[in-house]
Structure 1
Amino acid sequence: MAPNLTERRLFILKLVVQEFIETATPVASEMLVRKFGLGFSSATVRNDLAALEELGYLTHLHTSAGRVPTDAGYRFFVENLMDRTSLSLAEQRMIRHQFYQVRGELDQWIQLAGAVLARTAQNASLVTPPRAEQLRFKNLELISIHETMVLAVLVFHGGIIKQQTFGLDAARTPDDLRRCAGRMSDALADLTVSGVEELLAQDALRPLPTFGEFERAVIALVTHAMQAFEEQAREHIYSDGLLEMLSQPEFIPALARDDAERAVERLRRALDILKSGRGLGQLIPQALASEGVQVIIGGEHSEDEMREYSVVLARYGVGGAVTGVLGVIGPTRMAYPRSISTVRYISSLMSNLLAELYAGESRPPLEGNG
């Protein structure tokens, strides 16, 4: 911590960040003294604001004498000054009740998580569906639906099932298909997509005696299905709360023409981010590999289009089985304590529900864990 960050300056920095988050209005020294009844003069506060600006935690707009936080100021606030809050017990009960009303309906849980995150944090939300940490093959069924047409039912660990039809060069009896499915289930059991690919590569170098052309075609089908699923899982991001985010002052044009143009550009960019997931996709693997709540603020993003936004993310799921990511996105002037506590609680709740669904585990009650 910088030596000239005195206790008083830390206190003033905390007040500036909190006030700007609440009002979206640059914070002046006179207002701080008047509103909070500070026991020192406006001149003293002005000097401290100037020192905090020199340190890079605050800046000022050309149209105002007040200060606003920089990305570094928000980061310092989140890591050192922010009050660690939890959702109220009443909010926790209400949210938990909503989820248990759709108990066992995974798709509805995902949509509900997005809606609750957006409504509670008053910003846009994002949720990725839970998926196997590494998709692993479990077993295969081959069902004849026509003389030369077969339905392949692919079952993967984590309760994931894929179905696909494919044609045959020659008719096969149901017994032939059942025996082939058994051989393939034994050969591919517990393999990841890379394991299946390696098996195919080995067979290409030295053909395995139990594999004929039909078996190789089935393995190629399995490989393609696993690759397609993993690619889709990386790209699928469910979002909600566009109206909540667009109600923030950053997206409401001011009277000045340049402010209006900036607000419209922010609106266009926000729509593009939420619709395409551009700028968000690369954050998902980072969150999946991390513990706890991750906060990425403004200029910390590597993508230019994300530099005016903050994202709060957390992993949820059952370790070793299925995991996903959920969080909120909004302007850097985000209510960080509220957003972080909301993401933390919904992540814990979703993990608990998935543990019961996929692994039959029981966990302690969530109340008070916000």
Structure 2
Amino acid sequence: MNKAENIIVGISIGDLNGIGGEIVLKTFEDERILDFCTPVIFASIKSMSFLKTHFKSTINFHSINSINQVASGKVNVFNCWKEPVNIDFGKEDTKIGEFAIKSLASVTKALKNGDVDVLVTAPINKHNIQSEEFNFPGHTDYLAQELEGESLMFMVTDTLRVGLLTDHVPVKDISKHITSELIEKKINTVYNSLLKDFKIGRPKIAVLGINPHTGDSGVIGTEDDDVLRPTLKKIKDTGKLVYGPYAADSFFGSNNYKNFDAIIASYHDQGLIPFKTLSFGQGVNYTAGLNKVRTSPDHGTAYEIAGKGEADENSFKEALYTAIQIFKNRCDYEEITSNQLKKAPRIERKQRPN
């Protein structure tokens, strides 16, 4: 990983009938952003020109057909397709879903090849992207297959970080998925991310219970006592500062979350409802644990306001900043680790007697 002065940011355009195009345009209308990153939007110049005209954007795009044509100081558009696109704001359209996946697949290939440094994804519609070729609940699952590492949905702001044991899992199946192995794997992913991606030297992690009131000693389910508590004790015995399980209903309202560097929720809504309540519009969805950096805004396609010029770009902008900062933090971590290895005393092997 090279610590570039001007980081190349690959951007998947997402659902063109949603607000993705608008928030991308609004973000890069501030030309100061081009001083510290080079954006490459994976779409087509025709589609982006339509969006530019519709939203009266002042951006001058640099159209490219090869990744080696990327120009710093410009908003690059890598042409993933040539055919015309019928953009109809606010409408769910499987054809638009196909273009969203073309964009995602193309930028993911560039990310894997090292042609872009980080990935920021605009929102997709999880329903209209489904096909025989693409059968994933969303970005996270697809990237987990394409990239190396153990993926984890990590919702982050400057002051709040919430990870998930299970993400896009039906409520009725949650307890089946939460095993001791899964808990250890997810906590280790969060722990390592806090060290490498967020420069936190001795992370403190809280874990929320599976059942209401963490099971009330088995009255409301036994999973907390049978699986969660013993696993957390095992992890804590290794020296990691891991605490819990905490009753989820009062954890955030009591401000207890402020005492920890990260909180791990047992399932999607348990973690995301309080996260979005506390930080909606400023939060970032970060896929931790992978060998590449990917972020996205904390909202969806917002069809109800698509095309009206009302979309707030702040969450996308935060996703961009977060991706860049994590990339730099990882570079720093690798440099420090490398220097420590170089300075480590060499241990000579003892000669065996003849």
Smaller-chain TM-score bracket: under 0.3
Alignment TM-score, normalising by the size of structure 1? 0.24
Q: Please say which structure displays the higher CA radius of gyration.
A: 1
Structure possessing the higher relative contact order (Cα contacts under 8 Å, 6 or more residues apart)? 2
* Structure showing the higher helix proportion among its residues: 1
